Structure 1
Amino acid sequence: MVIDLLGPSLEDLFNYCNRKFTLKTVLMLADQLINRVEYMHSRGFLHRDIKPDNFLMGLGRKANQVYIIDYGLAKKYRDLQTHKHIPYRENKNLTGTARYASVNTHLGVEQSRRDDLESLGYVLMYFLRGSLPWQGLKAGTKKQKYDKISEKKMLTPIEVLCKSYPSEFTSYFHYCRSLRFDDKPDYSYLKRLFRDLFIREGYQFDYVFDWTVLKYPQIASSSRGVKTPVRPELREKFEPFNRRTSSGGGLHADHSRHRSEDIPSSKEVVSEFPCLSVLPNDFIVYFLKTTRLDAVPANGLRQRPRVSNCQHFKESCNVKQPPKLLW
């Protein structure tokens, strides 16, 4: 079986950003996360283990796209031909990760679509708050710990969980918990909640996430959001997360005169823009300084460098003809 090579998980990136995401990053993620869950449901399956570790970012031109992984606990909830929903049952063992499990899951109720979405809500609050109220509880056995988490979760009102954060998050939870077992969720309503909040906050949907700002500080001025400090050991660990490993071939040049922590490396750019592989290092360095590599259209895919960039090369380096794009 062949699967795509993916980048870091949202849990990895959360640690990279010192365990706090800005509202802007959470809202941009929420839109994609709801889409991923909706797609699984549209194919007749529940995920049943929604958590940050099971969402990974892509690589290269898909570095802004979120992927959902780990279907080991997934379950078919309806027949695709008859559309018959699985029956309501109780006294079920907890399936999934207790930290993000829905209240009904703790109570032993068979999971359905509403539970995936409630779990996703806990993920979003985890990103905003930095932790959830039922984390760090001590217990002698796993069952005792699950019971403590369940008790704390049920005793924590939604309004307390979402206190100091926009009311849309409270509305999200109230909606998820209002769904009946076999109800089809209104995914569009949930996405609209967060999209309207995003617009009201005046953010730009530019796919400049918190980790993007940390990795490329020079783009921070063009995107609203608080810059979060990063722990040095994590910066070193995840610095190359969207580079492709190159062994032989490619560009072999001395970057010491031009390289800085503020811009991506020449090799990284060549891996994403193959047309640049024919250029001297000086051309690529100029490309880095004059081109917004983080700019992406609404579909989340990175844009190819425009021919006008070649004009920049021509004017700055006194080249008679701009290099030919190779795609």
Structure 2
Amino acid sequence: ASPQTDVPVEDDAVHVIKVEYLENGPLFSELKFYQRAAKQEQIRKWMSLKKIRCLGIPVFWGSGLTEYKGKSYRFMVMERLGEDLQRIFEDSGSRFKKETVLQLGARMLDTLEYIHENEYVHGDIKAANLLLGYANPHEVYLADYGLSYRYCPNGNHKQYQENPRKGHNGTIEFTSIDAHKGVAPSRRGDLEILGYCMLQWLCGKLPWEQNLKDPVAVQTAKTKVKNVAGKRRFCFKSSEIAKFLACVYGLAYDEKPKYQVLKKILLDGLESSGARYDGPLEFSAAARTLFFVVCLYTPAATNVEEVLFWDLTVLLVCGAMRCANAAF
């Protein structure tokens, strides 16, 4: 063993080690993703091609096997990252500024495009898996590839097939409609999850969050929202997130997304707000300004679709509608 084994780790260490039992499936899946799809030379070429300064995939340094007290372990050596967005989200009053949401969305879209082009999907995008850079807190990285899935091995896309026994996989509030049905993860599923994340970051909550213990109810709510969004019957001018989700909902299971079209939707929103894609990330508490996030379901409602339409409309435009010094 190395003589450095027992040396205490300094607070400014730039590497971390992720350790699990040898039999741990998610860590093995994560390791395979990094080995196949996230070599640093690949990433550098992609960044040069796309003319971006940072791609949100952590640096993988190496891996190995070890034994300790008769048990076998697998480990990965990764670059050290900073604070996760879930903690920052909660410390910011459970809302982010619209500009910050669009920045995060556009950067994650770049990251997902790279992952997808290398035959993988992430499958579990959420604030807890998004970490700021340790050296540069204005960079954001998508971590935890334990649920990553090779959707297109050797260029052959997996077939659409529902399997109720595998239903509702992933983080229930964000997971895709396909995942609720037990369908294997796909590119459109990743983008749908990202859309739900942006919606929560902007508005503070999702319409189905009160039913998270009932996966079928969550699936039903998402399906109704998709049906309403697809009709484009919004009484207000659609927000960037509404447009983003409408495009994603229109994708076929095995269709390659038009990433640049989706990114332009978000970049146009940033430009209209005077912000930049690669500008500093600003996180601040909501203070005394509250966004309108209201539940319009009432016992007297007779047209469920219309109620969902209005509820979704309010959620999607809540970034522009504010109520100061009000409480609901």
Q: TM-score, normalised by structure 1?
A: 0.58
| 1:145-160 equivalent positions in 2, closer than 5 A | 145-156=214-225, 157-158=228-229
Unaligned stretches of 5+ residues in structure 2: 1-75, 289-328
Residue 165 of structure 1 deviates from its aligned partner by 8.0
2:287 aligned residue: 229
Residue 172 of structure 1 deviates from its aligned partner by 1.0
* Residues 174, 193 of structure 2: 8 Å contact kept: yes
Aligned counterpart in structure 2 of residue 42 of structure 1, from 117, 125, 134: 117
* 2:247 counterpart of 1:175: yes
Identical aligned residues as a percent? 32
Residue 129 of structure 1 deviates from its aligned partner by 0.5
Counterparts in 2 of 1:138 and 1:196: CA distance versus 1, 3 Å: closer
2:53 aligned residue: none
1:132 aligned residue: 206
Residue 53 of structure 1 deviates from its aligned partner by 0.8
Match for 1:158: what amino acid?
A: A
Supply the distance in 2 between the matched residues of 1:199 and 1:106 (Cα, whole angstroms). 35
Does the residue aligned with 1:99 lie in a helix, a strand or coil? coil
Counterparts in 2 of 1:22 and 1:38: CA distance versus 1, 3 Å: same
* Residues 103, 278 of structure 2: 8 Å contact kept: no
* 2:170 counterpart of 1:96: yes
Counterparts in 2 of 1:132 and 1:181: CA distance versus 1, 3 Å: same
2:132 aligned residue: 57
Radius of gyration: which is bigger?
A: 1
Residue 166 of structure 1 deviates from its aligned partner by 4.7
* Residues 172, 212 of structure 2: 8 Å contact kept: no
Residue 138 of structure 1 deviates from its aligned partner by 6.7
* 2:143 counterpart of 1:72: no
The CA deviation string for residues 274-298 of structure 1, in whole angstroms up to 9 with x for no partner, is xxxxxxxxxxxxxxxxxxxxxxxxx
* 2:102 counterpart of 1:27: yes
Does the residue aligned with 2:141 lie in a helix, a strand or coil? strand
Counterparts in 2 of 1:19 and 1:164: CA distance versus 1, 3 Å: farther
Counterparts in 2 of 1:204 and 1:38: CA distance versus 1, 3 Å: closer
1:194 aligned residue: 266
Residue 109 of structure 1 deviates from its aligned partner by 2.6
Supply the distance in 2 between the matched residues of 1:107 and 1:202 (Cα, whole angstroms). 41
* Residues 17, 210 of structure 1: 8 Å contact kept: no
Match for 2:216: what amino acid?
A: D
2:52 aligned residue: none
Counterparts in 2 of 1:115 and 1:204: CA distance versus 1, 3 Å: closer
Residue 70 of structure 1 deviates from its aligned partner by 0.9
* Residues 208, 218 of structure 2: 8 Å contact kept: yes
* Residues 49, 95 of structure 1: 8 Å contact kept: no
Supply the distance in 1 between the matched residues of 2:212 and 2:259 (Cα, whole angstroms). 36
Query: Which has a greater percent of helix?
Result: 1
Counterparts in 2 of 1:87 and 1:205: CA distance versus 1, 3 Å: closer
Residue 93 of structure 1 deviates from its aligned partner by 2.4
* 2:177 counterpart of 1:119: no
Residue 228 of structure 1 deviates from its aligned partner by 3.0
* Residues 158, 184 of structure 2: 8 Å contact kept: no
* Residues 73, 95 of structure 1: 8 Å contact kept: no
* Residues 210, 228 of structure 1: 8 Å contact kept: no
Unaligned stretches of 5+ residues in structure 1: 140-144, 215-226, 231-327
The CA deviation string for residues 135-166 of structure 1, in whole angstroms up to 9 with x for no partner, is 12275xxxxx1112112222333389x98785
Does the residue aligned with 1:87 lie in a helix, a strand or coil? coil
Residue 204 of structure 1 deviates from its aligned partner by 4.6
* 2:77 counterpart of 1:6: no
| 1:255-270 equivalent positions in 2, closer than 5 A | none
Query: Which has a greater percent of strand?
Result: 2
Supply the distance in 2 between the matched residues of 1:85 and 1:191 (Cα, whole angstroms). 24
Does the residue aligned with 1:90 lie in a helix, a strand or coil? coil
What is the root-mean-square deviation in Å for CA atoms of aligned residues?
Answer: 2.5
Q: TM-score, normalised by structure 2?
A: 0.58
Residue 95 of structure 1 deviates from its aligned partner by 1.9
Residue 206 of structure 1 deviates from its aligned partner by 6.3
* Residues 125, 190 of structure 2: 8 Å contact kept: yes
Supply the distance in 1 between the matched residues of 2:114 and 2:240 (Cα, whole angstroms). 22
Counterparts in 2 of 1:28 and 1:41: CA distance versus 1, 3 Å: same
Match for 2:172: what amino acid?
A: A
Supply the distance in 2 between the matched residues of 1:163 and 1:121 (Cα, whole angstroms). 20
Supply the distance in 1 between the matched residues of 2:89 and 2:120 (Cα, whole angstroms). 27
Residue 170 of structure 1 deviates from its aligned partner by 1.5
Does the residue aligned with 1:40 lie in a helix, a strand or coil? helix
